[in-house]
Structure 1
């Protein structure tokens, strides 16, 4: 899957499902601060990612995510690993 498509899908569900202001989403923005997710939101986020991309992110994956760029890269890498 192309990176641009991943970014578009992710941004769409963050805006619609998590009510994030689209203007706040950019590659260098702090992922956790921008989203302000609680533990239940992270579960919802994992479910949405799995349903959209067929990959599952775990707690260890989120520890390495600082920016939205990191988040997109993590999803892209999981998709690549799955398809390898």
Structure 2
């Protein structure tokens, strides 16, 4: 195999790889990191879900850090445990 054939082989392999990546929607950002391109509707739905989860976490943190509420929550959990034991 001569150098010309080797160059053609390398170009062919890279081209086929690029076609496969494009077919699966895998793209590269300007830093060379791979990511899967998603459509706008899916991106907006995921962003809305993340926003809702962050709000839930905020509420849970507020419940956990509120001292009076945490004590009463502990007592309620213990009551439920006592009730579940036969």
TM-score after normalising by structure 1: 0.26
Bigger CA radius of gyration: 2
Q: What TM-score comes out, normalization by structure 2 length? A: 0.26
Higher helix share: 2
Larger % of strand: which?
A: 2
